[in-house]
């Protein structure tokens, strides 16, 4: 929605994919640390790696130590490009913003909130996961309920896309963030 409103978005999930592409140092380190986690084409097998790291917190921390610094570097480089162009607002889409202690990167924190049950159902549907695997992934993060305390504003994402969009537009107006509706 933000992108469609003409607001640049720097997405940590995209960054995390970029830094583990074939030929990138992080991918080599991941293979050294976790063994055979590649697809035939040499791409990272995220599902296979996910089953390893979400079963063992120490392995998840090991992966984060490899990937997170590179993700931060990539995101900082993207942010520098927008700052150089004097773009009035840039959104950092960082699912682990609070856990990674990156709130100081932001002027304001906006949380998109759903109930624990909705979060579980959506994750299972999106990633085609069994309930147990989805729960392990959710438990690896701070509960959304706890994240509410860190947010200046909260969007309730339980309703329709239109309702979510209306909440977003209201917050952008309140924060004086320029956007364009097409």
Which domains can be identified in the chain, with CATH numbers? Answer: 3-174 (3.40.50.300)
pLDDT of residue 52: 94
pLDDT of residue 49: 95
pLDDT of residue 104: 95
Report CA 124 to chain centroid distance, whole Å.
17
Q: CA 171 to CA 2: how far, in whole Å?
A: 12
Q: CA 123 to CA 135: how far, in whole Å?
A: 9
Can you list the residues of the chain whose pLDDT is less than 70?
Answer: none
pLDDT of residue 73: 96
Q: CA 108 to CA 101: how far, in whole Å?
A: 14
pLDDT of residue 54: 87
Q: Quick one: which of 112, 100, 110 has its CA closest to 174?
A: 110
pLDDT of residue 181: 87
Q: Quick one: which of 31, 54, 29 has its CA closest to 42?
A: 31
pLDDT of residue 140: 85
pLDDT digits (tens, 9 = 90+) for 36-57: 999 999 999 999 999 899 889 9
pTM (2 decimals)?
A: 0.84
pLDDT of residue 68: 94
pLDDT of residue 10: 98
pLDDT digits (tens, 9 = 90+) for 113-142: 999 999 999 999 999 999 999 999 899 889
Report CA 167 to chain centroid distance, whole Å.
20
């Amino acid at each position: 929605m933000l992108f469609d409103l003409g607001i640049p978005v720097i997405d940590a999930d995209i960054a995390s994919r970029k830094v583990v592409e074939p030929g990138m140092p992080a991918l080599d380190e991941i293979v050294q640390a976790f063994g055979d986690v590649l697809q035939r084409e040499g791409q990272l097998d995220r599902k296979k790696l996910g089953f390893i790291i979400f079963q063992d917190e120490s392995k998840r921390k090991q992966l984060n130590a490899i990937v997170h610094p590179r993700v931060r570097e990539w995101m900082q480089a993207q942010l520098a490009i927008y700052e150089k162009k004097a773009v009035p607002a840039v959104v950092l889409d960082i699912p682990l913003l609070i856990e990674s202690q990156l709130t100081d990167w932001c002027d304001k924190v906006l949380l998109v909130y759903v109930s624990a049950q909705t979060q579980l159902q959506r994750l299972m549907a999106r990633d085609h996961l069994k309930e147990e695997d989805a729960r392990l992934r959710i438990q690896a993060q701070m509960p959304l309920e706890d994240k509410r305390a860190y947010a200046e504003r909260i969007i309730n994402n339980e309703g329709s896309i239109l309702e979510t969009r209306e909440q977003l537009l209201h917050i952008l107006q309140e924060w004086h963030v320029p956007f364009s509706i097409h």
